[in-house]
Chain A
Amino acid sequence: AQSVAQPEDQVNVAEGNPLTVKCTYSVSGNPYLFWYVQYPNRGLQFLLKYITGDNLVKGSYGFEAEFNKSQTSFHLKKPSALVSDSALYFCAVYDGATNKLIFGTGTLLAVQP
């Protein structure tokens, strides 16, 4: 069965510092991985995806994610955090058998000014 895990419920970072939001995956077959962000009272917004190719994936709003097959990880990163990046971040894996996304439990990112 496909699954993702987000080991941190919350990540705190100071504005201007680099940020990392962690995600590990467990899949049978090739992993197809996604990051979404959810702001209060808004739907999930797509940030980036890894399907194949380069292990470093660049996405929206200056975010990037590093796919690491040996560590089965897909961590979300940004070189310099903004207060406006404060939101709930979800990692997800695509299940090809059912065409659904399987989400992690989410990580709340708090960026302090």
Chain B
Amino acid sequence: DTGVSQNPRHKITKRGQNVTFRCDPISEHNRLYWYRQTLGQGPEFLTYFQNEAQLEKSRLLSDRFSAERPKGSFSTLEIQRTEQGDSAMYLCASSRPGLRINEQFFGPGTRLTVL
């Protein structure tokens, strides 16, 4: 496993700007997840893809957030018109296909700071 990779690792932006993060899952994993983690809290689920289909979205995901996984491989998470409350660590995870409940493997995260 080369592991889940995320880019950039850090992003500082001004309020109102748009940002986009990228996640590359482990190659044979068809399931991909985005979570958000704020200081002192556990990760909170944002959205889930199986291959290219976005199957689940959290109510946390406002209209300013959009995620894509166009070819069932890498995924992008875009935040439009960023707000200071968007400052957090954005984590991507992937898991193997199959009927078993497989563990999710997490990337190192992208830390977003909105000034």
Contact = CB atoms under 8 A, between A and B. Distances in A.
A94 B42 contact: no
B18 interface: no
B104 interface: yes
A34 interface: yes
Contact of B91 (A43, A92, A98): A43
A98 to B, nearest CB: 5
Contacts, number: 58
B14 to A, nearest CB: 24
Nearest to A105: B42
Interface stretch (B61-69, B70-78, B80-88, B106-114): B106-114
A100 B56 contact: yes
B42 A90 contact: yes
Interface in B1-42: 4, 31, 33, 35, 40-42
A34 B42 CA distance: 13
Interface of A: 32, 34, 36, 41-46, 49, 51, 90, 92, 94, 96, 98-106
